[in-house]
Chains A and B, each alone.
Chain A
Amino acid sequence: MRWMWIDRVVELVPRQRMVAIKNISLAEEHLHDHFAADPTRDLPALPVMPASLIIEGCAQTAGILVGHAESFREKVILAKINRAEISREATPGTTLRYTATIERMDAAGASTRILIALFDHAHAAAGFEEIGQVEMMFSHLDQNMGGAGRTGEAFPEHNFVFGEGFKTLLRTSGIPVP
Chain B
Amino acid sequence: MTRDEILSKVRDVLVDALAVDDDEVTPSASLINDLGAESIDFLDIVFKLEQAFGIKIAQGELFPEGVTQDPKFVKDGMVTTEGLAALKARLPHVDFTAFEKDPKVSKVASLFTVETIVRFIEGKVAAK
A121 within 8 A of B: no
B39 and A144 form a contact (CB under 8 A): yes
**Is residue B127 within 8 Å, beta carbon to beta carbon, of the partner chain?**
no
Q: Are B59 and A106 in contact (CB under 8 A)?
A: yes
Q: Considering only CB atoms and an 8 Å cut-off, how many residues of chain A contact the other chain?
A: 18
Query: Number of B residues whose C-beta is below 8 Å from A?
Result: 14
Cα-based distance from A148 to B126 in the complex (angstroms): 37
Stretch at the interface among A16-24, A68-76, A107-115, A126-134: A107-115
In the complex where A104-B47, A107-B59, A111-B47 touch, is A150 in contact with B40 (Cβ < 8 A)?
A: no
The A interface is mostly helix, strand or loop, or mixed, namely: strand
In the complex, per-residue mask of A142-157: 1 if CB is within 8 Å of any chain B CB, else 0: 0111100011000000
Q: B65 near A145 (CB under 8 angstroms)? A: yes
Tell me the minimal C-beta distance from B10 to chain A in angstroms. 17
Residue of B whose beta carbon sits closest to that of A82: B44
Contacts of A109 in B (CB 8 A): 40, 43
A139 contacts which chain B residues (CB < 8 A)?
A: 40, 43
